[in-house]
Structure 1
Amino acid sequence: MALALAGSALLICHDADAQDVAEQNTASSGQLVEPSVAELKAQVERLQRELEASRQREQAASAVQTQAAPATEDVDAPLDAALAAAEPEAEPEVIEEPKNLSEVTVTSRRKEEKLQEVPIPIAVINRETLERDNIVTVQDFSRRAPNLGVTSANTRQTSIALRGLGKNSGNESMEPSVGVMVDNVWRAWTGSAWANFPDLDQVEVLRGPQGTLQGKNSNLGLLNITTKAPTFKDSYYVDGFAGNRDSLQGKFSAGGTVLPGLLAYRASGFIDKRDGYVQNLDIHRSEGELGETDAMGGRLQFLLTPSDVLSARLIVDKSSSKQTMSVQPLIADPTHFDDGTLRTTTFSSRLGRDWFNNITSNGQPITVIGDPRKMANNDRRTSRGDASGVSAEINYDALGHRFTSVSAWRDALFEPNHDGDGSTADIERIAGWTVKNEQWSQEFRISSKEPGPIDYQAGIFAMRTIADTFNQRLFGNDAGAFFASNAQYNRLNGTATGRQMMAASMRNVLYNQNVVPATDSYAGYGQINWHVTDDATLTLGLRNTFERRENTGWSRNIGGSDLDALGASIGATAQNISDAKAIRSAQLGREWDAPRQGFDQNSQNWLVNPSYKVTEDLMVYGSVAGGQKSGAAQFNFNTGKTENVKPEDVMDYEFGIKSSWLDRKLTANVNFYQTDIEGFQSQLVLPDETRPGQYQTQLGNIGGIQLRGIELETSWDVAQGLNLFLNGSYNKAIYTDFANAPCPPEITGQAFCDQTGKTIPNAPAFTANFGFDYRAPLTFGYGNDYGLQWHAYLIDSYKSAANYNASLSRYGQQDAYHVTDGGIGLGTKNGKYNLDLVGRNIFDTIYVTNVSNFSARAAASAAYGDARYFGVHFRAKF
């Protein structure tokens, strides 16, 4: 009787659910849009669990009726136990399998949608790949997504480019053109994305302008990073890696219920240690190689659900690292310019002066040029990079809408401690810019939930950012001999008194600069999807941003000997004293104070984005978008003169096809694009207003840049357990108007060079990542979800030849290269346990990600990608 009643109730619920769904379908004219799709899926899953529970109850009751039990035995006990085991909460184990692209869900438009139904070009790195490949940094992302480039010599020099453009210049007054969003919080400073992300759920690389919805100034694209959220199901995860280069990496997470149905938590942390890959040939020979990794951090989250319509998520995170981060081996210091003219004073010729003979007499080279795996520093120093933040997201469903509030505060610190001269001489003891970046942001958003011909989102956004930047250069005993001109050196080096004056000219002199850019940003935005028919949709978006940008700064010279007094006390000649003063003056420049200055700016971003579903598995889309990236309140660091930079304007055109074939086993997406940028913010040569007929290099706006190309993402489930994938791009990125570009250093006799028509730096024409993922059950585990399977994967990341120097110097040219990662291992079919042998950069490819210019005082240097490392990777879920 009880079973009959339960079955009747279940049928009534089933009919009610079916009726609700039918009513929703009718209300939307047959069209289902999010979030009703998610609700429908939840209903189906719940009904399946209830039907399965009912079946198990019937089986348990049948077993009890047929069981021959003693008369004194409680016949209800086995039934109670069986019923308890069959409660709906006891869900079967979910076997984790890699998702085909047709099954991937994204949040690129601030709501959950199938990737194949979003009419914008997106590359997705899903949770399975992130965990399997131990992907934790933005550098790792660049090896998994086409047309994405990342440079990260250190925290401050971290820059992200899409389609070859978007890299910053290590200048906090200027904002990047590629945005970073982490759990719905905009990261104003790209350097704050340098640290590890220990608890990733998914990474979405959105190409093309995203400013109407996803944060400000993201005119070239966005990294949308989401981490795993708390749930009420208890779960634990551990992940460990140990290998060569003394590698030790660990991640953990734990989550579950604090108060049933009300409060859940998730805690996670990481440790990442690995020896470097660049040998330091210093005379004191410190232990360990340069370029090591030494970081740790953690996150604590809470999810509060006081009702079915109200939820709040709180995230607190902190990370810290100390590393020799500015590791850039010297690669070139030519003796002649390209026209054959001799370079009379070079980095090498300065170090070749007899002043430095005593430094080289111990058999160690004073410097190393041309070896990407060797450097010579007289000291091993570590720099510090910290980051922390708090965010709170509140969602409330009412009146057919979702109301969202996102509040956040973030703090980031980069404290460099570099040996700034690239030699074992005592020239620069400290060099680098300390950055303390703070941001406060608040966003309110409303989005429609009821299905219908129109759905929309709108919101307001406010942010304040302050970047307190402080430059220090502390000079040593050998600095005077190094920075002296040839004539000054010859005069001072001729006598003991002159040598004393030369040593004192720069010894213990500290050059300080402080610049504090600040921005107040306020925006209102909206985006609407008009479902013209069941298959045709038109998306329109608009954002208006008002910003107040300000800056202030100063420059000081501190310390050092009183050269007049010293010269008088040791009997130096007037010429000796004059030469020593000239060395100091030329290196330090003048002191200046700049009062707070800035400007107000109003800008718009807009989007027109039609799409059409030809069939259930084929969609075509197009878009036209325009926008502006903010200008910069800027100073000339040598003079303190105001050099504000104008905004840059972007016009973008996209056309794409998203398709699935072979019963959705093969997914293929292709996108064509053209992006025109006017006023791109960069270094350029302009007339010097204080010196008629002379020119100076300063920040400004390039006339024009054009990006044009094609992008492809494919995934093919060839057979059970075997997936092949190929993602690639062709990108033609050129200067359309850059007649007043700075010349590369090997060109002499010209104030500026015309780069119009040339490929921009950091923009390889072809990029691709391709490979396979294979899983197969072991014979003795076949057919058992808890049995064993072996798996293997191989991923190759390819970039064609490109120039990685901002001035397009020929010394910045990088040939085409491949970086290959792979692994093979054993695990349970349900994904709970995995043990792999893995390798990163298996063939130890040496490649540059950025190249600096050489000068009369410095050799050209390069930031390189990480060297090979390999080891054992273990993962477990409980």
Structure 2
Amino acid sequence: MSRLRFPLANARGRQPFVYSSSVILGSTLLGSSFLFSASPAVAQESAAVSGTIMETVIVQGAVVHSRNKLEPLKDVPLSISVVSGDELERLNAADLGAITRRAANISWNQGNQRTSSLSIRGVGKVGQTEAQDPSVGVIIDGVSYAYNPMSSSYNFVDLEAVEVTRGPQGTLMGKSASLGVLNIRSKRPSFERSAEFSLTYGENRSLSGWFAGGGAIVDDLLAFRTTIAVDKGEGDIENRYNPDNTYQNRDRVSGRVQFLLQPNDDFSARLAFDAQPRGGENTNGRTFYTPTPRTYADGTPTNLNSDAETRLNRRWFTQKGSYTYQDNYLNGNGDRTLYNDAQQPVVTGTSGQALELNWRVGEFDLFSLTAYRDYHFNAHNNDEGTPFDIQRSSGQEIYYSQYSQEFRVSSEIDGVVDYQAGLYFLKTHTDIRRNVILGADAGAWFATPAQYAALDADGNGRYLLQNSLDKVWKNENKQVVDNESAAIFAQANWHLTDDFTVTTGVRFTREDRTNPGSSLIYDNGNAPELNPYRVNDVYLGGFDTVSSGALGVVGQLTDAASADPQQVAVADFVAQKYFNVATYAELTDEQKRQVGYAKAIRQARMGVLWEYADPEPYKDTQPAWVISPTYHINEDITTYLSWQYGEKAGISQQVNGRSFLAKAEKNNALEWGIKSILLEGNLTLNFDVFYTEIKDYQQAVQVFDEYTTEQRNDGNLYYTAATGNAPKVEVKGVEIDGVYSGIPYTTLRFAGAYNDAKYKEFERSALPPELGNRSDPYYDVSGQRLAGAPKYSFNLGADYRIPVFNDRFLFHSSANWSFTSRFNSDNTLSSYGWIPSGSIVDFSIGFGTEDELYDVSLLVKNALDDDRPLGKTWNSYIPAVERWIGLTFTSRLF
């Protein structure tokens, strides 16, 4: 084993190294990557072009970048998966869903561009809001993304590699992450000229392509690399209301340009710009409905008062004879189509800039990374999934930005210890506006059976029913989330002997978080006169009436309203507008009841209102640490033990206008593993056993609703859903992976994981729908498996590449098989939410020239047409994305 230091000059071809031995790049843990061999000069260039002077160890085995330096995978006391960019390119895997299917025990939980999430070892699916940190961190080209949605609708092309590191991370670089990190590295600028492109055409009128190229601008001084990607295509589900509005369509354009300034061997600077202009994709509303079960779990009849079947069978909706509950609402119209009048694409866009500086000062390597990113999200949905004018828009607009600054220093002391230390600063700002805009049919949809029967009885009542909600626009929870983090961290590798190293690291992060907001009516619509007079000190200008028959005639003025001339005047206006009667007092009891019901419908949809207020901020200093001994049993076998601790910041938030502070999440992770190279170097085999305990796991919980309890004042305690803490989660399991290259022209990789992720203690979970008739507001799920956490997962990949026709051409084929056992997709752990075991297979076969001047490949995604739903619950499911076939042409121009 030899240690080599690669100076920056070698990226320009000066003082080239020539060796007969080889180093393996793009290696794998948990069966995630195609392995390829390269000379050490290639490893040297990878280190230098990245802009960092790094030390590497040349051995037979894998080289990774997880600890800010190139080093053999078997020397890293962490559970890591690495996927090479070349493999991702061959299978056209460009989004996070496709990328993570090539790594075991990490999953992409698909929602919309905001609600999709990453989970590692079964943890992280639940709990993702703008006010909290992601559990699984995302680092792209060195920049930590403090808000994961920035990467959810982005195509990642022209990549060097993708690394997945499991367990708490925070003592090395970037932002601390409590469960693990997904690290995506783009190809960096080089002084060697290059240009390549790819075009893919496939089903659903999809057309995608990318171009990447660069080289020297000024020889030996300034280089660049630019990347442009376009991905357009229809989705696999059509909206009958607008056939051009398809679901899971693709509308992505992105570009990236990087400049590398390298005036001498001791300094480099990389300046990067990237942008994805706003584009719209239909991810919300891709929901098929099924009949609601007729009984709850205990056998009692289901309450169908608010069910779509009850509502759609009302006269108001049966007037439209071309649309019925049975034939159209259920099961995607029977032909995988939807019928949504107000559905609009989710519009997203992002951009960023980064400046990376590297200096060699004596024996010290200094590093600085300054970065800015922003993100836009705008969703306008048709939540009820019908062609009726019920919800004209339901969604939110989000404007996010982050500034980060990182400084690091690294060095080595007499071969005894090498270390890194640094500072990290992060400031994020998020403006959020949640909108609900209602239409002319909303009153008839949201009315209770008694309310609807009374109001649909005559023309006056129907006028009230229509106006009760028509054009009401509510700004629900307008928020401004500001987070500031400042951290100091250090990590050292203590080489106690040639074979025994102990890694230690520590981090302290100071968090300061605020989240002021309000919930108000932006537009009162067609009938402001039907407002209550006041809600929670928010003046609405209407009048108050009796809401319960136990207190008098429903709809009659309350005593306080009768004594208020302003409220009486509004009531008289209602009598004139809807009944052509001079005063409210002249209305009959039945007419007052109709007014009272219309007002009740309106107030129920307004929900809780409050003026702009500041909840309690979250301020605390949080630690993270790692202790990990590593022992080289021999040249080919290494074992390690790791203890990692990390915390995720608490949450400042409001629950119905009242401050509610969620506690910090605390993660203790133990891991023991063996990494080995066997069979004369043809088999790389890694194995680890892990145990993780998470205290105060952040997710949706049932919390005491102080506002509603005070407002109703009826002796009962009320609860509502909010982001809070599950007391304890426990995760344990075994991971194994291997890569075998002993078959000529073939690389096989395999991985497997047994993963037991359970709530060790969680007594206040929200009720699943089948328990909706219970009187208590929550139930105990202690001992149950977390949502989105399959117990078993396997990954098998194969890559076959053989020269043909006198080695002038290359025939190749690649395949990836990803299996997961059954898991529950419903965050409430509904018994109706189970997704069965199954597999997804991607496949490609191609032919091209040996010099890569051109290559043509046939791609098949989801080749076996796996039809398991993406999500499922009590009376709905999200259908799978169907098999897709395409043809790709690639060319390396020079």
Q: TM-score, normalised on structure 1? A: 0.86
How far is 1:102 from its partner? Answer: 5.5
What's the CA shift string for 1:330-366, capped at 9, x where partnerless? Answer: 3443233222222231122112211101224467955
Equivalent in the alignment of 2:763: 739
Q: Are residue 443 (structure 1) and residue 443 (structure 2) matched?
A: no
How far is 1:47 from its partner? Answer: 5.3
Equivalent in the alignment of 1:46: 16
Quote the Cα distance in structure 2 between the aligned partners of 1:655 and 1:105. 20
Q: Are residue 694 (structure 1) and residue 717 (structure 2) matched?
A: yes
How far is 1:803 from its partner? Answer: 0.2
Change (3 A) 1:373 1:489: same
Quote the Cα distance in structure 1 between the aligned partners of 2:150 and 2:214. 26
Quote the Cα distance in structure 1 between the aligned partners of 2:13 and 2:156. 34
Change (3 A) 1:383 1:609: same
Quote the Cα distance in structure 1 between the aligned partners of 2:263 and 2:575. 78
Quote the Cα distance in structure 2 between the aligned partners of 1:102 and 1:582. 73
C-alpha contact (below 8 Å) 1:391/1:406 kept by paired residues:
yes
Q: Are residue 408 (structure 1) and residue 371 (structure 2) matched?
A: yes
Q: Are residue 349 (structure 1) and residue 310 (structure 2) matched?
A: yes
Equivalent in the alignment of 1:183: 141
RMSD: 2.5
How far is 1:167 from its partner? Answer: 2.6
Residue 668 of structure 1: which of 672, 681, 685 is its match?
685
C-alpha contact (below 8 Å) 2:399/2:432 kept by paired residues:
yes
How far is 1:224 from its partner? Answer: 0.8
Quote the Cα distance in structure 1 between the aligned partners of 2:401 and 2:194. 34
How far is 1:688 from its partner? Answer: 4.2
How far is 1:44 from its partner? Answer: 12
Q: Are residue 367 (structure 1) and residue 337 (structure 2) matched?
A: no
Change (3 A) 1:567 1:775: farther
Could you say what secondary structure the match of 1:350 adopts?
helix
Residue 505 of structure 1: which of 462, 468, 477 is its match?
468
306-315 vs 39-48, greater mean Cα deviation = 39-48
What's the CA shift string for 1:803-854, capped at 9, x where partnerless? Answer: 0110001221100011000011102234443211110011221233444x66
Equivalent in the alignment of 1:340: 299
Quote the Cα distance in structure 2 between the aligned partners of 1:480 and 1:819. 44
Partner AA of 1:617 in structure 2: D
How far is 1:46 from its partner? Answer: 2.4
Equivalent in the alignment of 1:771: 797
How far is 1:250 from its partner? Answer: 0.2
C-alpha contact (below 8 Å) 1:418/1:432 kept by paired residues:
yes
Equivalent in the alignment of 1:867: 882
Equivalent in the alignment of 1:728: 752
Equivalent in the alignment of 2:659: 642
Q: Are residue 815 (structure 1) and residue 836 (structure 2) matched?
A: yes
How far is 1:236 from its partner? Answer: 0.2
Alignment of 1:156-555 (within 5 A): 156-194=114-152, 195-282=154-241, 285-287=242-244, 289-320=246-277, 321-332=279-290, 333-342=292-301, 343-345=303-305, 346-361=307-322, 365-369=327-331, 373-448=336-411, 452-513=415-476, 514-555=478-519
Equivalent in the alignment of 1:617: 636
C-alpha contact (below 8 Å) 2:359/2:366 kept by paired residues:
yes
Q: Are residue 570 (structure 1) and residue 596 (structure 2) matched?
A: no
Quote the Cα distance in structure 2 between the aligned partners of 1:721 and 1:347. 58
How far is 1:159 from its partner? Answer: 0.8
How far is 1:612 from its partner? Answer: 0.8
How far is 1:686 from its partner? Answer: 3.5
Partner AA of 1:702 in structure 2: A
Could you say what secondary structure the match of 2:770 adopts?
coil
Change (3 A) 1:279 1:824: same
C-alpha contact (below 8 Å) 2:238/2:244 kept by paired residues:
no
Quote the Cα distance in structure 1 between the aligned partners of 2:288 and 2:402. 36
Quote the Cα distance in structure 1 between the aligned partners of 2:335 and 2:513. 41
Unpaired segments ≥5 residues, structure 2: 21-40, 43-57, 531-570, 581-590, 710-714
C-alpha contact (below 8 Å) 2:173/2:422 kept by paired residues:
no
318-327 vs 255-264, greater mean Cα deviation = 318-327
Could you say what secondary structure the match of 1:811 adopts?
coil
Change (3 A) 1:230 1:735: same
Alignment of 1:1-40 (within 5 A): 32-33=2-3, 35=5
Quote the Cα distance in structure 1 between the aligned partners of 2:17 and 2:619. 57
Residue 824 of structure 1: which of 830, 845, 852 is its match?
845
C-alpha contact (below 8 Å) 1:677/1:706 kept by paired residues:
yes
What's the CA shift string for 1:306-341, capped at 9, x where partnerless? Answer: 111000001100013211121331344323322222
Change (3 A) 1:259 1:357: same
Change (3 A) 1:170 1:577: farther
Equivalent in the alignment of 1:69: none
Partner AA of 2:437 in structure 1: L
Could you say what secondary structure the match of 2:254 adopts?
strand
Change (3 A) 1:812 1:696: same
Quote the Cα distance in structure 2 between the aligned partners of 1:248 and 1:336. 47
Quote the Cα distance in structure 2 between the aligned partners of 1:728 and 1:374. 37
Change (3 A) 1:43 1:408: closer
Change (3 A) 1:47 1:517: closer
Could you say what secondary structure the match of 2:16 adopts?
helix
C-alpha contact (below 8 Å) 1:159/1:166 kept by paired residues:
yes
524-533 vs 322-331, greater mean Cα deviation = 322-331
Q: TM-score, normalised on structure 2? A: 0.84
228-237 vs 582-591, greater mean Cα deviation = 582-591
How far is 1:682 from its partner? Answer: 1.4
Quote the Cα distance in structure 2 between the aligned partners of 1:173 and 1:278. 33
How far is 1:469 from its partner? Answer: 0.9
Could you say what secondary structure the match of 2:497 adopts?
coil
What's the CA shift string for 1:43-81, capped at 9, x where partnerless? Answer: 99825499xxxxxxxxxxxxxxxxxxxxxxxxxxxxxxx
The alignment-based identity, stated in percent, is 32
C-alpha contact (below 8 Å) 1:151/1:850 kept by paired residues:
no
Quote the Cα distance in structure 2 between the aligned partners of 1:45 and 1:368. 70
Quote the Cα distance in structure 2 between the aligned partners of 1:607 and 1:362. 61
Quote the Cα distance in structure 2 between the aligned partners of 1:402 and 1:766. 43
